[in-house]
Chains A and B, each alone.
Chain A
């Protein structure tokens, strides 16, 4: 499941856990602490965008397999809608799904929920995929 060698240092630094990883799908979680907040004591938007980027990057990596190690992909566009907030103590889960993988581009979507119930953010991400062939 979790391939520690491919863990993202930044994602690990902020405290996310990889709960599930398979081809085209990844689920990350994080229990919010004070260090994840903005000046108003609410979750900082950067926590969610970081988790979305990590979830999709990993889901795409699992789908591409060996090719992803040879020719890494990179996020080129992210669009996130923040529907609701969260506070320390809340458990955030982000799911990322690859919706299309082409030769040089990939599209994905991400959803974030709070405490397993409330949808708090939606994201759409686009990746550039390098493809130098075998």
Chain B
């Protein structure tokens, strides 16, 4: 969303490269968004599963940082060791279509719908 939200918080070059945006950041909650484009798809024209797992990883890495505090994180970074994602429905590039990834420190990512990901 606002440039300032993104500017004040750590973001990943990988997420920037694929077009993910930080929409909200507060202690215990982070929301990412991405507007699907043709280069986010698999050979069937559907969103690639890697798009959603990337946003989940970013949202959860961010939300843990929001709780630990940025100084603590930069002194002792955390790292994903396990991820389990269920893809409930797919998504396609469309002008009005957006994928959102939200992370809450208390539980698994909420408000998420995964996408089918053939190659």
Contacts and interface: CB of A to CB of B under 8 A. Distances in A.
A47 interface: yes
Contacts of B46: 72, 74
Q: How large is the interface on B (under 10, 10 to 19, 20 to 34, 35 or more residues)?
A: 35 or more
A40 B15 CA distance: 13
A40 B73 CA distance: 9
A86 B44 CA distance: 30
B53 A13 contact: no
Interface residues of A, number: 49
Contacts of B118: 8, 57-58, 60-61, 68, 72-75, 127
Nearest to B88: A76
Interface string B31-52: 0000000111111101011110
A42 B79 contact: yes
A53 B13 contact: no
Contacts of A51: 50
A6 interface: yes
Nearest to B55: A46
A46 B39 contact: no
Interface of B: 10-18, 38-44, 46, 48-51, 53-55, 57-58, 61, 77, 79-87, 90, 114, 116-119
29 contacts: A7-B119, A8-B42, A9-B42, A11-B48, A13-B39, A14-B17, A35-B13, A36-B17, A37-B12, A39-B10, A39-B61, A44-B57, A45-B80, A46-B15, A49-B49, A49-B85, A53-B53, A57-B117, A58-B118, A61-B43, A72-B46, A75-B87, A75-B114, A75-B117, A75-B118, A79-B84, A80-B82, A82-B81, A128-B116
